[in-house]
Amino acid sequence: MNQLKQVHAFSLRNGTVDTNILITKLLEIPNIPYARQLFDLIPQPTSSLYNKLIKAYASHGPQHHCFSLYTQMFKQSCFPDPLTFTYIFSVCAALSSARLGKIVHGHFVVSGFKDDVIAVTALVDMYAKLGLVEFARVQFDQLQYKAVPVWNAMIAGYARRGKMEEARTLFELMPSKTVVSWTTMVSGYSQNGQYVNALNTFLSMEKVGGFMPNEVSLTSVLPACANLGALEIGERIEGYARVNGYIENLFVSNALLEMYAKCGKLDVAMLLFDEIRGRKNLCSWNTMIMGLATHGKYEKALKLFHQLLREKMVPDAITFVAALLACTHGGKIGEGKEIFELMETKFKIIPKLEHYGCMVDLLGRAGKLNEAYNLVQNMPMKPDAVIWGTLLGACSFHRNIEFAEKAAEALFRLEPWNSGNYVILSNIYASKNDWDGVSRTRKMMKGSQVPKAAGYSSIEESGVIHKFIVEDKSHPRFSEIYAALEYVYSNMRASVDENNFDSEIETTA
């Protein structure tokens, strides 16, 4: 930097200054304020120089300076070129400004660059990121030549809006795909909770597509492994990540940490947590504390929470959910209340629904149903179905009809389609021999035409997830499955009959 200043001073003294080169070098460092000072001294900057400065502000901020430069271009009759629009479209997306995006789009059309592939790709990407997928699709369809990036942008736009069927249709139509294309689909499925599809797409990327996953691919599929309990595939991904050096990527490490924690492999998760060491961020801490708390290791979870505070890490709302969950599993009412108060008094974090839900669960499990109900009544926000469901679950455990009826009444309004609430209330009545209550609940359920949801289970075998519903015959190998079940059932029955026979002989003897 000092060398550049010396060159600038020498050039000024000798009258040989080339401001364009100096500005370019300054932006490479980058020292944008100094470059801007020099830029403002130029009476008539070129569009190329404008673009360099706009790109710098777009990358490093403040991004609103991009628009002041863009406006200045028109005032100085230095009109934008396709590259200018490419940068400005990306800034509109980053600032989530649909209004500015549409204005710039209008300028783009008038400028006559609507056939420039790179600029139109940026335009499609802008509308897609703004959630205006219909606008993005219009521009996409008008392109005569569609490069891979514009396909990826359109697919990502559908995925962000949860329109995975449209994304899949477009993905299948792609004339050629890249690892980014496959990863976009995996990420879309994972973010929309379609974990089986995410996992199957990832496996197809390797087998059918022949592509080697990158860091983003691994980060996208590991949450699916975590939520499906697909430990075998997750372990294989870790091996792949280590061989290819992706384990050094913190996003990959955190995703692996979550996978092991959710799958119950807490010892492995803790080893990985310790391995991350100095690279750990708050996400790493939250994942480990949450994993320990979820699996009942409340003492270790709370120890890690207090260690986080000692190391001067600043907790967030998720950290406190994990800590409160640990208190819930440990029945630590006093510590739970202290942590709940600590959120707002020390860290200025306003409790959200999930924090109140943890407190209701903590009090409810301890049998303090009156206190739990009062907390629900005095919450600063309207309680949702999760809050009332938590209270109803506590009432079921303690067989309390009074508060169960209040919770169930709220749940019937919030989610009248949920048969589980009717069943829980009916079971509470039955546990207290209140058969009139059972009858009333059954009639209410029948009168509301609430269907009882079919239960299902899923298993992972050889890297494939198999889902089974009661009396299901949709599996391609159902005949073999039922034959195996019949074999097991017959053996069990024969064993029971044999034991009964032996008992009769002993009794007779």
Q: Could you read off the pLDDT of 410-437 as tens digits, one per residue?
A: 999 999 888 889 999 999 999 989 999 9
| 256 and 241 Cβ atoms separated by less than 8 Å | yes
Type of residue numbered 436: D
Query: Which residues in 208-225 are b (16+ Cβ under 10 Å) and which e?
Result: eeebebbbbbbbbbbbbb
d(CA 257, CA 263) in angstroms, rounded, equals 10
In a domain, residue 440? The reply is yes
Query: Which residues in 27-66 are b (16+ Cβ under 10 Å) and which e?
Result: beeebbebbbeebeeeeebeeebbbbbbbbbbeeeebebb
In a domain, residue 436? The reply is yes
| pLDDT tens, position by position, 332-349 | 999 999 999 999 999 999
| pLDDT category of residue 276 using cuts at 50, 70 and 90 | very high
Average pLDDT over residues 457-474: 64
In a domain, residue 65? The reply is no
Are 274 and 290 part of one and the same domain? no
Name the more confident of 192 and 452. Answer: 192
Are 418 and 450 part of one and the same domain? yes
Average pLDDT over residues 381-390: 95
d(CA 464, CA 482) in angstroms, rounded, equals 19
Are 272 and 289 part of one and the same domain? no
Q: Which stretch, 304-318, 452-466, 490-504, has highest mean pLDDT? A: 304-318
Q: What pLDDT is attached to residue 487?
A: 83
**Cα-only R_g, the chain:** 31
Type of residue numbered 117: V
Average pLDDT over residues 182-202: 96
Are 335 and 364 part of one and the same domain? no
Measure Cα distances from 58 to 51, 86, 88, 210, 412 in Å. 10, 11, 8, 35, 50
Average pLDDT over residues 21-27: 82
Name the more confident of 484 and 271. Answer: 271
Q: Is the pLDDT of residue 325 over 70?
A: yes
Q: State the total domains in the chain.
A: 4
Are 268 and 336 part of one and the same domain? no
In a domain, residue 466? The reply is no
Q: Is the pLDDT of residue 4 over 90?
A: no
Q: Which two tokens stand for residue 71?
A: 């406006």
| pLDDT category of residue 509 using cuts at 50, 70 and 90 | very low
In a domain, residue 135? The reply is no
Using the 3D structure, point to which of 320, 341, 362 is the last residue of a domain. Answer: 341
Residues 6 or more apart in contact with residue 379 via CB below 8 angstroms: 356, 387
Name the more confident of 9 and 293. Answer: 293
Measure Cα distances from 116 to 55, 70, 82, 143 in Å. 18, 19, 7, 9
Are 249 and 229 part of one and the same domain? yes
CA angle, 43 as apex, 38 and 49 as ends, to 5°?
60
In a domain, residue 78? The reply is no
Are 292 and 370 part of one and the same domain? no
Using the 3D structure, point to which of 313, 341, 369 is the last residue of a domain. Answer: 341
| pLDDT tens, position by position, 391-408 | 999 999 999 999 999 999
Q: What pLDDT is attached to residue 508?
A: 47
For the domain that residue 411 is a member of, what is the CATH number? 1.25.40.10
| pLDDT tens, position by position, 47-69 | 999 999 999 999 998 999 999 99
Q: What pLDDT is attached to residue 278?
A: 83
Are 419 and 381 part of one and the same domain? yes
Q: What pLDDT is attached to residue 90?
A: 95
Average pLDDT over residues 42-50: 90
Q: What pLDDT is attached to residue 382?
A: 95
Domain of 487, in residue numbers? 473-509
Using the 3D structure, point to which of 278, 305, 323 is the last residue of a domain. Answer: 278
| pLDDT category of residue 84 using cuts at 50, 70 and 90 | very high
Are 361 and 450 part of one and the same domain? yes
| 214 and 222 Cβ atoms separated by less than 8 Å | no
Are 250 and 266 part of one and the same domain? yes
In a domain, residue 112? The reply is no
In a domain, residue 114? The reply is no
Tokens 């976009």 belong to 184
Q: Which two tokens stand for residue 463?
A: 């890297």
Are 446 and 412 part of one and the same domain? yes
Q: Is the pLDDT of residue 235 over 50?
A: yes
Q: For all residues of the chain together, what is the average pLDDT?
A: 88
Are 330 and 369 part of one and the same domain? no
| pLDDT tens, position by position, 349-358 | 999 999 999 9
